[in-house]
Structure 1
Amino acid sequence: MKLLELYATMKKDVQFIENQLEKSIRCDHELLSETSLHLFKAGGKRLRPVFVLLSGKFGTYDLEKLQHIAVPLEMIHMATLVHDDVIDDANTRRGQLTVKSKWDNKIAMYTGDYLYAKALSIVTQLHNPVIHQVLSKAIVQMCIGELEQLRDFFNTDQTVRNYLLRIRRKTALLIAISCQLGAIAVGAPDKVSAALYRYGYNVGMAFQVRDDLLDLCGTEKQIGKPPGSDMRQGNITLPVLLALQDEQIRGPLLAEIAEIQQQEGKHDASKAIQMIRGSKGLEQAEEMADRYIAKALHALESLPNVKAKKNLTDIAHFVAKRSY
């Protein structure tokens, strides 16, 4: 099943969440509404809300409760994107100008802060302390992940372990708690919410590895930004780290990355991209993503055989092979 086909089977509930998301983003302050809606209107996969809804199928499904998880988690994701674009000095996202590019860095930072704050205010409508504890701990870890990415900009000596810890915090955690909190909100058993967390974590790790591969292998039309953008911004991703382990290209590749850094990302990254594509780094990164998907599928095995289990399996396969 393709992702759009899955969304079609959930059309009514997904559209409800989309409507609530837009309604929640709007506020009395004209500029904040405009900047926040700018990213919303650029679209997105809305994977986190879908994970919340599907995980809610493992308990007493209640869309009114689930909206108070799905909407804020997507808003938190949006906030991280706005902040990331400032840190990365990115001009485009999803083929559109970023908030920081259309307005400026200060407005972008306050937009991200607003989205965070609004998200937390929505979650307070659920009176379950476990939900608040899980969410607050995840946000702390996400902030640490952002700082560690900033610290490791252009650090070609970082280890693969450092990279994996960083993407765990930056990407996998939010997907993991989307699955976990969706189940908790509807009263699913602890063992079910724990299995869904493991599923989401592993899907999230694979999702980010695939994202890093697409940045080097995809076209601008596919990924909504020029290929090699991560490297030009100083973000040394898994395929690059693995390519650097090849002694035959390590020296020339390091020289290209140093040139990119020296010219503050304005240097043409095509030579570096070609070297990475010619190494085993891409293949090894693909294999790692596949291992995470296998772990995600294994986590689903103990869950009840409801339709949502098949849907989650389909999403895992989509993530494994996605090209956008």
Structure 2
Amino acid sequence: MKLIDIFGALKKDMDFIERQLYTSIEGDDELLSETSLHLLKAGGKRLRPVFVLLGGKFGQYDLEKLQHVAVPLELIHSASLVHDDVIDDAATRRGKPTVKAKWDNRIAMYTGDYIYAKALMIATELKNPEIHRILAKAMVQMSIGEMEQIRDFFNTEQSVRHYLLRIRRKTALLIAISCQLGALAAEAPKEIHSLLYKYGYNVGMAFQIRDDLLDLCGTEKMIGKPPGSDMRQGNITLPVLYALQEDKLRAPLLKEIQGIHAGDGSGEVSRAIEMIVSSDGIARAEQLADRYITKAMDALSGLPEIKPRKHLQEIALFINRRTY
């Protein structure tokens, strides 16, 4: 099942949001418009705008108003990807050249900054200060999460708890506030957007864990980048941490990871992946993702029984079994 099949009822509104995304980055500077357009054309699931629109269905749904949340949240996500690609020295994303690969690091960094600024400009159309406070706080946390990831490159001693806090900041928070701010912009009751935040947070945690699993178990065609890219870049993810907890695997896996870090040919990503896949790390990570999805479903049970709730349930289930 594809996402488009799940939220087909939103197609017309999502087409509008897509047009607004493209319009938002045009016109100020020819090069910045070109690089930003290159990023948007690479596609993506557009999950964050979808969550905004579905959250808005629990209040006074107004697409003209909701676009000022949906577009900025997708732009913030896109800007973070441009910066990630510079930090990770990534050549491809979604099977296409990254901005840093097609241009250079400096152009990529300014592109990310430009997209962030555009997002904030669009959000100012909404006068509710609570929306801006939540948005700004999430951006601060995202930045902290990025710094933590850099500090933890090739850190095989980090705890699972530390990893979970990092992905909360890097991924889950933006998905959580996408659900929350859609309802807040639509003037839904506080208990509604609080439950939607809880749903989005748990879905976001499961989403990132699934992403980490796909990086190890997926093919390049499936994920749009070479398998094991996280490990090459030094990002030690949940399945790796779990595998390192197994006595029989710890020493040989550490040796491979240390060799990858050294870059002298003494460590092979393919061998490390084989070890992790042979461990209980994959199953344990899958089980944790399942638990987050269960918590997301529990949050939804407190919402009114309207069709958007069903859509949110279906998206959560899709995320937990996705292959891309």
Q: When the two structures are superposed, what TM-score results if normalisation uses the length of structure 1?
A: 0.98
Matched, 1:137 2:148: no
Q: Does 1:262 align with 2:272?
A: no
Shift of 1:264: 7.6
Alpha carbons of structure 1 residues 104 and 184: separation in structure 2 relative to 1, 3 Å: same
CA deviation after TM superposition for structure 1 residue 94, in Å: 0.2
Partner of 2:271: 271
1:114-165, Cα deviation, whole Å (9 max, x unpaired): 0101000000000000000000000000000000000000000000011000
Structure 1 Cα separation of the partners of residues 26 and 20 of structure 2: 10
Structure 2 CA distance, aligned partners of 1:28 and 1:50?
A: 27
C-alpha separation between the residues in 1 aligned to 2:264 and 2:313?
A: 42
2:11 match: 11
Contact 2:259 2:268 in 1 (8 A): no
State the Cα distance separating 1:4 from its structure 2 match. 1.8
SS at match of 2:187: coil
CA contact (8 A) 2:257 2:267 kept: no
Partner of 1:64: 64
Structure 1 partner of 2:174: 174
Cross-structure match for 1:75: 75
Give the AA of the match of 1:201: Y
- Name the amino acid aligned to 2:275: M
Partners of 2:2 and 2:38 in 1: CA distance: 27
The structure-2 alpha-carbon separation of the partners of 1:174 and 1:266, relative to structure 1 and needing over 3 Å to count, comes to farther
For the pair 1:217 / 2:217, whether they are aligned, the reply is yes
Q: How does 1:131-170 map to 2 (within 5 A)?
A: 131-170=131-170
1:3 Cα deviation (Å)? Answer: 1.4
Match of 2:230 in 1: 230
> Which structure 2 segments of 5+ residues have no match?
none
Partner of 1:106: 106
Quote the Cα distance in structure 2 between the aligned partners of 1:266 and 1:187: 58
The whole-number CA distance in structure 2 between the counterparts of 1:265 and 1:311 is 48
Matched residue, 1:52: 52
SS state of the match for residue 234, structure 2?
A: coil
Instruction: Return closer, same or farther for 1:176/1:266 CA change in 2, 3 Å cut-off.
Output: farther
Classify the secondary structure of the residue corresponding to 1:157.
coil
CA deviations over 1:292-316 (Å, ceiling 9, x no partner)? 0000000001101110000000000
Unaligned runs of 5+ in 1: none
- Alignment of 1:239 with 2:239, yes or no, is yes
Q: Counterparts of 1:88-127 in structure 2 under 5 Å? A: 88-127=88-127
Q: Percent identity?
A: 69
Kindly indicate whether the alpha-carbon contact (under 8 Å) linking 1:232 and 1:264 is maintained by their aligned counterparts in 2: no
In structure 1, give the amino acid aligned to 2:323.
S
8 Å Cα contact 1:233-1:265 kept in structure 2? no
What CA distance in whole angstroms lies between the structure 1 residues aligned with 2:272 and 2:60?
52
What's the C-alpha RMSD, in Å, of the aligned pairs? 1.1
Distance 1:28 1:144 in 2: 29
CA contact (8 A) 1:232 1:266 kept: no
Shift of 1:268: 3.5
TM-score normalised by the chain length of structure 2: 0.98
Q: What is the rounded CA distance, in whole Å, between the counterparts of 1:34 and 1:99 in structure 2?
A: 10
**Amino acid paired to 2:169:** R
Once the two structures are TM-superposed, the CA of residue 10 in structure 1 deviates from its matched residue by 1.2
Q: Within 1, Cα distance between the matches of 2:115 and 2:227?
A: 28
The residue matched to 2:45 in structure 1 has which SS?
coil
Hey, what's the Cα distance between the residues in 1 that align with 2:172 and 2:123? Answer: 20
Runs ≥4 residues deviating over 6 A = none
Measure, in 2, the Cα distance between the counterparts of 1:275 and 1:120: 44
SS for the counterpart of 1:10 is helix
Contact 1:232/1:265 (8 A) holds in 2: no
What is the SS of the residue equivalent to 1:211? helix
Instruction: Check the 8 A contact 2:172/2:203 in 1, yes or no.
Output: yes
Aligned residue for 1:28, secondary structure, equals coil
